[in-house]
Amino acid sequence: MRIGQVAAQAAVNVQTLRYYERRGLIPATRRQASGYREYDADAVGRVRFIKHAQALGFTLGDIAELLENTACPEVQARAERAIARIDTKLAELERMRGVLTALTVECRSQGRNGDCPILRRIDL
């Protein structure tokens, strides 16, 4: 398969495939005499695996390890690290939500007069 076909079937763009190849996440491809990359049928499934793993919070570094080491204890350890990263992001998002909620309440109570408290907080 050519790169465009793999990209379309895996629902990614061509640059993503090239990046994954540079990172070693998908095997280097053969080149046809015309210079086109030639991918095997497994490439689509591998790219889908990568995208699904990313959607679950795994980093590309984690994914490279998952592709190499499928032993359950190692996979579990990586999953637990992904959970910790997600928990950190959730806490940061909750903090951001709290600040914005307070600022919008302040904005509503101020009406149309004066400087916008949201913009003041952003330091504009």
Residue 122 has a pLDDT of: 83
Beta-carbon neighbour count of residue 105 at 10 Å?
11
- Domains of the chain, first to last: 1-56 (1.10.1660.10)
**What's the pLDDT tens digit per position in 95-105?**
999 999 999 99
pLDDT at 124 over 70: no
The CA-atom distances, in angstroms, between 33 and each of 27, 29, 37, 38, 42 are: 19, 13, 10, 10, 22
**What's the pLDDT tens digit per position in 42-93?**
999 999 999 999 999 999 999 999 999 889 999 999 999 999 999 999 999 9
Write the CB contacts of 89 (distance below 8 Å, at least 6 apart in sequence).
none
Residue 7 has a pLDDT of: 95
Contact yes or no for 118/104 (Cβ under 8 A): yes
